[in-house]
Structure 1
Amino acid sequence: MSDTIQEKVTGVTLTDAAAQKARTLLEGEGRDDLALRVEVQPGGCSGLRYRLAFDDSRLPDDLVDAYDGVDLVVDRLSAPYLGGATIDFVDTIEQQGFTIDNPNAQSTCACGDSFH
């Protein structure tokens, strides 16, 4: 996990490693109108699942934090489920990709994609 983290209005923390990876992916897309959106949706084996994607839309009540060239967007319905969560990017032999550590999750499934 990265040493420097920032917590702002979304209630979600994006580590330096996650912000850097998102910025690299955005640069690869060649677009400056995309933001990293994290939301909670019904589904998965535990009842709720995360959706993390680049998005060019903004709703009037979206919460937005800027992380060194990357906007992190959370909709107001997802915010209560994500308060205190940390998004990181890991690149190890065992695992590669974005991870979400959510203290609000009472239980998670084995695949790590859904929670309750």
Structure 2
Amino acid sequence: MSQETAAEATKTEEQTHGVTLTDAAAAKAKALLDQEGRDDMRLRIAVQPGGCAGLRYQLFFDERSLDGDLLRDFGGIEVAVDRMSAPYVQGATIDFVDTIEKQGFTIDNPNAGGSCACGDSFH
């Protein structure tokens, strides 16, 4: 492997994050974007201070590219994580559930030391 190829491989590795999007979540995100006729947006997960447990997730569609974004593609849906949030969501899985009891995106985060009853924040 040439030095240039090794450098490119390292650069590619540095641009990814450890969040996983399940097939169900990718399909739902893609369906929502298709419904809106948008192919210029990505799904962004971020962590912000707040909530009753100290940190709050933000999961939203975003057309912006922030400096230092870490990106991964899941079947045509790009998931973006900013560099500050990445350590907090490393290894997290975003899923979509559709049952009688609950419908929506869920985040299973092994880094969360504890969470609140509503599930919107963690520490």
4+ aligned runs moved over 4 Å, structure 1? none
> Is it true that 1:71 corresponds to 2:47 in the alignment?
no
Once the two structures are superposed, residues 46-104 of structure 1 have per-residue CA deviations (whole angstroms, 9 ceiling, x without a partner) of 00000000000011210011111110000000000000000000000111100000000
TM-score by length of 1: 0.91
Aligned-partner Cα distance in 2 for 1:66–1:99: 18
Aligned-partner Cα distance in 1 for 2:16–2:71: 7
Paired position in structure 2 for 1:12: 19
What residue ranges of structure 2 are gaps of 5+ in the alignment?
1-14
Question: 1:9 deviation in Å?
Answer: 2.2
- Amino acid aligned to 1:80: P
> Is it true that 1:58 corresponds to 2:99 in the alignment?
no
What's the % identity of the aligned pairs?
67
Structure having the higher strand fraction is: 1
TM-score by length of 2: 0.86
RMSD: 1.0
| Aligned pairs (5 A) from 1:1-116 | 9-116=16-123
Structure having the higher helix fraction is: 2
Aligned residue for 2:44, secondary structure, equals: strand
Aligned-partner Cα distance in 2 for 1:9–1:69: 15
